Structure 1
Amino acid sequence: MSTTTSSSSLRHFVSIKDLSDEEFKILVQRAQHFKNIFKANKTNDFQSNHLKLLGKTVALIFTKRSTRTRISTEGAAAFFGAQPMFLGKEDIQLGVNESFYDTTKVVSSMVSCIFARVNRHEDIQALCKDSSVPIINSLCDKFHPLQAVCDLLTIIENFDISLDSLNKGGNSKLKVAWIGDANNVINDMSIACLKLGLSVSIATPPGIEMDSEIVNEANVIAERNGATFELTHDSLKASTGASILVTDTFVSMGEEFAKQAKLKQFEGFQINKELTAVADPNFKFMHCLPRHNEEVSDDVFYGEHSIVFEEAENRLYAAMSAIDVFVTNKGDFMHLK
């Protein structure tokens, strides 16, 4: 799914792979820019940004519950002066008495953009096809691009990574190790890391493989940017020498019926002292939350190497960046260079 619709002036944010390396770098830079403004709390900066969408509405079409996504999106909309409108599955007719097409046409006619947190990637594609305003993918079963923007902002802050070294292999000495499922989060995070020149090692249990489309794209980007991309079923191998250890839920929302089978399949994939012992001594631990004990032990999750709560806060600035680029600047990245 391209980020561009049939209208040359309209651009959607569906996945990180749809962006050029330079465009993704700009998204992270804008997130950092708005974080600096937010932390400085300067009235003039707040006022100038608040005028950008003053009097407009940002719609949040959510068919899946959330904490960080809803708070960050509503906060970002308010920052730019827009009124956030939360539209949960019990609030509108979508999928009940009204088609995706009808709902999309109506909602997009009244708002400046739509943040969509849905079950299926096909739902994002349907929204993009018929919307007259930018669609920002806030999660589907294949991608989670806002989390990737947030995660790379968190990494560059903690490792003093130079975004200017992009495409020069200057960051390849940093290894990001993902220990867990092959899901929407790592689909976007792996591409995002490689676009900034970070090396990636992904360990999934036997029988769980990465999406072939993502793997093919990752290999191309890794070669172009002088990084390495590795797939394994050995959690110790992936963790060895890693600067960043990352995981996510083993039992995704809607898969609770298969919990016991999943937990058995993921035995040996908890991030704990055994895995951190082979990582870089100064490693950082990340998790997009919510977290469960089977994924990471308490001593790691709450320990000195954990940056999970910084990561969670950065979701706000990722949402600000997306609104700034795709809504107020109409997807014109080059204008922001």
Structure 2
Amino acid sequence: MILSRLTRPKLIKFYVWGSIQLTQKYYSSFVGKNFATLKDFDSNEIQKFLWTANDLKTRFKKDKECFQPLHGKSIGLIFQKRSTRTRVSTETGMGLLGGQSVFLGASDVHIGVSESLEDSAKVLSSMFDILLARVFEHDIIDTLAAASSVPVINGLSDLYHPLQILADFLTLQEHFGRLKDLKLSWVGFAPDENVIKICDKIASQTGSLLHYTHDPKEAVHQANAIITDTWVSMGQEKEKERKIKLFADYIVNDELVKGAAPNWVFMHCLPRYPLEVTDSVFYAKNSVVFQEAENRKWTVMAVMLHLLQDYSPVYPKPNFGF
């Protein structure tokens, strides 16, 4: 999500309940598909990614397996924006699965400068089995995907960050043992109006409830998860001082979290700055930010694996229930 207007910031509150119950069913293949935004996948398909992420985490981390289904495969990492978690999780994840990664920073490729996006996509997709791009405008993802002959993963755009949401879902399931009936409060941003329309439509179809408010205490009341993000994203440095003033009342601190549910957790995609959340909350026992960061690895591994080949998890499906 992005700050869509520099007026008084909204604080968005998500209620998740009463969603459809899912049954064990045949999952369609993801092979060859793009991963640009989660709205391109239904709830069963999202659960399949999460199930596989949980399965891979258990196989590699707990059982210490050597499992390399992507031996001989390669991924090209196109980064207009610098990154820690996205780059490291993808490179180490692809390595564990037996494949290779090649990092292409802003100075390494000619995307949109001396070579068109379409031409770059055609060249790179002739040399890699899959691409991941971390960009500014979301249109770049769509253009790359349209011109590429191999799957394209959105590593982050100014509009969507689907890999982060998968990691958040996996973290919540690990902590609460479910995703259904959780109340999630997002503090600080005014979502893009088109994204709001899409979310409202999905909520009406699934039985979930979305509520938007300017009152942070109202939003976090009895919340199971309190979530915030970096207020000044890369490319928005000129807006720093103005945004700090706008968001002054939206700092997640001890006073704000008093109204949350007894079992509340705090989440942040990182990097984090104290002006967004105090140390007392960020490092509290309720904080799951580092578990959340690690899960970026297991979820991107699941996405890469499914886009390149069909995979059936070895371990039983966790309880997601959404």
TM-score if structure 1 supplies the norm length? 0.81
For residues 86 and 278 of structure 2, the distance between their equivalents in structure 1, rounded to whole angstroms, comes to: 25
Match of 1:260 among 241, 244, 249: 241
Give the superposition deviation at 1:56: 2.2
Q: Which residue of structure 1 lines up, in the alignment, with residue 42 of structure 2? A: 20
Equivalence map 1:248-287=2 (5 Å): 248-287=229-268
Equivalence map 1:130-141=2 (5 Å): 130-141=147-158
Q: Which residue of structure 2 lines up, in the alignment, with residue 108 of structure 1? A: 125
For residues 214 and 238 of structure 2, the distance between their equivalents in structure 1, rounded to whole angstroms, comes to: 24
For residues 270 and 312 of structure 1, the distance between their equivalents in structure 2, rounded to whole angstroms, comes to: 21
For residues 140 and 101 of structure 1, the distance between their equivalents in structure 2, rounded to whole angstroms, comes to: 18
Q: Which residue of structure 1 lines up, in the alignment, with residue 58 of structure 2? A: 36
- Aligned identity (percent) is 42
SS at match of 2:231: coil
Give the counterpart letter for 2:44 in structure 1. Answer: E
1:178 is the counterpart of 2:178: no
1:146 is the counterpart of 2:163: yes
5+ residue gaps, structure 1, are 1-7, 163-170, 183-209
Give the counterpart letter for 2:134 in structure 1. Answer: R
Equivalence map 1:201-240=2 (5 Å): 210-240=191-221
For residues 218 and 241 of structure 2, the distance between their equivalents in structure 1, rounded to whole angstroms, comes to: 26
5+ residue gaps, structure 2, are 1-29, 318-322
Bigger helix fraction: 1
Provide, for residues 11-36 of structure 1, a one-character-per-residue CA deviation record: whole Å limited to 9, x for no partner: 10000111111111111111111111
Provide, for residues 254-288 of structure 1, a one-character-per-residue CA deviation record: whole Å limited to 9, x for no partner: 11111111011111100001210111122100000
Give the superposition deviation at 1:9: 6.9
1:314 is the counterpart of 2:322: no
Equivalence map 1:5-16=2 (5 Å): 10-16=32-38
**Distance change >3 Å, CA 22–CA 273, structure 1 → 2:** same
Give the counterpart letter for 1:329 in structure 2. Answer: D
**Distance change >3 Å, CA 95–CA 222, structure 1 → 2:** closer
Give the counterpart letter for 1:120 in structure 2. Answer: E
Provide, for residues 282-323 of structure 1, a one-character-per-residue CA deviation record: whole Å limited to 9, x for no partner: 210000000011110110001111010000000000111101
Provide, for residues 148-192 of structure 1, a one-character-per-residue CA deviation record: whole Å limited to 9, x for no partner: 100000000000116xxxxxxxx22x210000123xxxxxxxxxx
- Quick one: higher RCO (CA 8 Å, sep 6+), 1 or 2? 2
Give the counterpart letter for 2:236 in structure 1. Answer: E
SS at match of 1:268: helix
Q: Which residue of structure 2 lines up, in the alignment, with residue 165 of structure 1? A: none
RMSD: 2.0
